Amino acid sequence: MLASRTAATALQALLVAAATDAGARWYLGRGWPVQQLPAGKIVLVDEDLDAADDADVTWPRDRVHTLTVQLQCMAADTDDPEGQADALAEQALVAVEGTAAPLAGVNVIATRITRQLATDAQAHVAITTVQLQLLFGGRSNDPTLIT
């Protein structure tokens, strides 16, 4: 499994263990159908692979991974779906940034929050998205390893 997928899986476990309003409904990836809200999706957006700062050209190379992840916090059919989505985002932020090192070998930095409200007939679905940067090391000869 790619190191980025390993980091995202650990992030999912952290959010489920945090006992947020979404409970165990934290899904990894875009493809999960969400049938009960509140819930959250952990979406891997993109990943930069940079050489370590020392510019060592030996093989295998040390890499610095910068993985962009979105936590899509969804809520619906309440008096204030946007407030409920924001509350879930707050709980997620506390879970992922509330301790110095919540994920072993991975630095987590929240970088952006966006909001949207979708309306379908009488239903309102609010999505508060927290964008995270996950920073970790790796080796060019083993893309599965977080160093």
Q: Report pLDDT digits (tens) over 40-62.
A: 999 999 999 886 556 667 788 88
Instruction: Using DSSP, state whether 99 is helix, strand or coil.
Output: coil
Q: What is the pTM of this model?
A: 0.89
- Per the CB < 8 A criterion, the answer to whether 38 and 21 are in contact is yes
Positions in the chain short of pLDDT 70: 51-56, 100-101, 120-122
Residue 55: the pLDDT is 62
Residue 8: the pLDDT is 96
Instruction: Using DSSP, state whether 24 is helix, strand or coil.
Output: coil
- Per the CB < 8 A criterion, the answer to whether 66 and 47 are in contact is yes
